[in-house]
A and B are shown apart, each in its own frame.
Chain A
């Protein structure tokens, strides 16, 4: 056999093989074709690709699918701007929906200048790690450990640690994705609609002097807020003021005014930031409290 024929055979063989496989692929493409709405891809393009989960779906593509089959509304994406969400609603011809903006809030105001420290923890710099060693060194067993696991977990860089070692949420940019809620070993973060302005920034379950020995901005269960506000709005449960948000429309700033420690606060709906009552003790101290 000459070289020419062997080349010809192999070329021919490859050609036949190629044709055969191509035919199979063509048939498979026809038979196994799955129709997918082309709008899914286009809507996904308009979504932020943050895959944060704030909307309630596992990521942006499932959310896009949900938008098209109607199980979600565009306004549920808290990361996009309003304009883009409006654009998506117009594009799909669906209702924008109205989602009350939600933000993450920390139920602790005990920074290093007000909360007492009973032992110093020096190890791995992480709240999770500190919480495993006898609950961290903080005098209050419920309080924020201040090592910034939440700031690290936040994908949107909304949480920053202030100089007293307390995380501050930039409410305007918070997407309520809930990453900080999951990472906090003390379960201090939770997601609240911004129209729930009355808030108890404390989780301590101890009463009176025992509580005050641990922190200057603690809820001492004095019940002043309960007396001052409409009946049923606030109750003391396990020595902690608990707000019944189903009666949120009754809430007003009166509740915070006589709080002696400033544990119950009133969030500004617009500019972010919060107010404490007039009677709350003034904290002048700037530096951290010593250990002991």
Chain B
């Protein structure tokens, strides 16, 4: 049945969605109407060499070297790796410095001191005509731009452009769901950078050979849907669909199920069923950077939460220290109240000295007295089954949790499909006994991974 196009009658038809999932409070009203703005440059930039999945980048600058904004400072350390570009005009103060990361272990980084008097223009660019580029040239251009998935996973974008041997991509799914509470950066990008987004989509369609592209947007952002539909060229093979607002709609496998009614096989990747998924932020950046021959040096970050005085969406140079960022928006807080990314899948930080990396889509700051921050008593499992009806990949979190309690990590993987869990946190969210299920699963996965390495 063809969906009704008239906006005000939309409630009559049920929107496409996936089974299970949860409805956390959205809190998006804090920033959804605020335009993307720039922030001042920090005087000391920290650029970790491993901001993405895969091999770390290799530095190509020396201590004391002057760099201009946009200049490459590190090259890709392999195929699944990307180069880095200087976010500022300044001087390299350290290469291979150990810096704090949100994950915990210290990692190597390049430190650049910003020239205070510089106009910070991007001088390092070379214009390209994307219409005449071959798919191979496009893939190389995407890697050279240092593009990674800006939705949070930070997986190098060019790898997804080349599906594994024998697989063909026919559909491009564009992820504009933004199901995490508080975050609105993708919403603003869809509204303000619609042309760039469409240019990015066409480029990726060309590089992958996809015949059609579907932009999936949650129905709490209908203004973005209307705007994209207005600007979509006819006969381009691109369409825009509203899907139900539900967490985790923005997980790539969930969105594929919602839009196409297909399921990615267990342990597989979207390319197995001929689909590639890209975030709207990634595509808009591609549409901006590739024609100009620039590298990824800044991204839109949502700064929000009850602890922020001036919430909003800011264009933040990659490598800006978190402490500086929080000072700019008037957040006086301790590390304990800050979450990088959204509150559902984001990371709590133990230090404000970490840098904003390519994968950070938002910073949520709570107030110290917030009820959500208090430690909760964990009670035994009462076998209510709430987690089973919340799990979007239809696992049995209750059983997995019990097995984790008795350290049967191997059994969790072989008999209860632990590796299909993508740690969305729905089970922990709904658990009336406050059992930290997702944390248990992450421990189990880490131990299984180590056991496999030891052999």
> A residues within 8 Å of B by Cβ?
118-124, 126, 128-129, 131-137, 141-142, 182, 185, 205-206
Contacts and interface: CB of A to CB of B under 8 A. Distances in A.
Contact of A134 (B334, B350, B447, B450): B350
A134 to B, nearest CB: 4
A206 to B, nearest CB: 6
B53 interface: no
A142 to B, nearest CB: 8
14 contacts: A119-B349, A119-B350, A120-B336, A124-B440, A128-B443, A129-B436, A129-B439, A132-B442, A133-B350, A133-B439, A134-B347, A142-B105, A182-B450, A206-B98
A119 B98 CA distance: 19
Contact of A126 (B348, B349, B375, B443): B443
Contacts of B450: 182
Interface string B414-446: 000000000000000000000010011011001
Contacts of A182: 450, 454
B436 A141 contact: no
A124 B447 CA distance: 16
B335 interface: yes
Interface residues of B, number: 26
Given A119-B336, A134-B348, A185 B446 contact: yes
B351 interface: yes
Contacts of B351: 118-119, 134
A141 B104 contact: yes
B317 interface: no
Contact of B446 (A123, A132, A135, A141): A132
Given A123-B436, A137-B350, A128 B447 contact: yes
A118 B335 CA distance: 8
Contacts of A134: 102-104, 347-351
Nearest to B454: A182
B100 interface: yes
Given A119-B335, A128-B447, A134-B349, 11 more contacts: A118-B335, A118-B350, A120-B336, A123-B375, A126-B443, A131-B104, A133-B350, A136-B104, A141-B100, A141-B105, A141-B106
A136 B351 CA distance: 10
A135 B350 contact: yes
Closest 9 CB pairs of A and B: A135-B104, A134-B350, A119-B350, A122-B375, A128-B443, A141-B106, A119-B335, A124-B436, A132-B442
Nearest to A117: B350
Contacts of B102: 134
A185 B375 CA distance: 23
B273 to A, nearest CB: 31
Interface string B333-354: 0111000000000011111000
A228 B100 CA distance: 33
Contacts of B347: 133-134
B363 to A, nearest CB: 14
Contacts of B375: 122-123
Nearest to B340: A134
A5 B100 CA distance: 91
B77 to A, nearest CB: 19
A137 B351 CA distance: 9
Interface string B312-339: 0000000000000000000000111000
Interface in B339-386: 347-351, 375, 378
B350 A205 contact: no
A292 to B, nearest CB: 8
B368 to A, nearest CB: 12
Given A141-B100, A141-B105, A205-B106, A136 B350 contact: yes
A175 B309 CA distance: 57
Contacts of A142: 105-106
Contacts of B348: 133-134
Nearest to B107: A141
B104 A128 contact: no
Nearest to B443: A128
Contacts of A141: 100, 104-106
Interface in B104-132: 104-106
Nearest to B374: A122
A132 B439 contact: yes
Interface in B200-246: none
A123 B439 contact: yes
Contacts of B440: 124, 129
Contacts of B334: 119
A126, A129, A141, A205 pick with most chain B CB within 10 angstroms: A141
A35 to B, nearest CB: 33
Contacts of B104: 131-136, 141
Contacts of A205: 98, 106
A234 to B, nearest CB: 22
Contacts of B350: 118-119, 121, 133-137
A132 B375 CA distance: 17
Interface in B69-121: 98, 100, 102-106
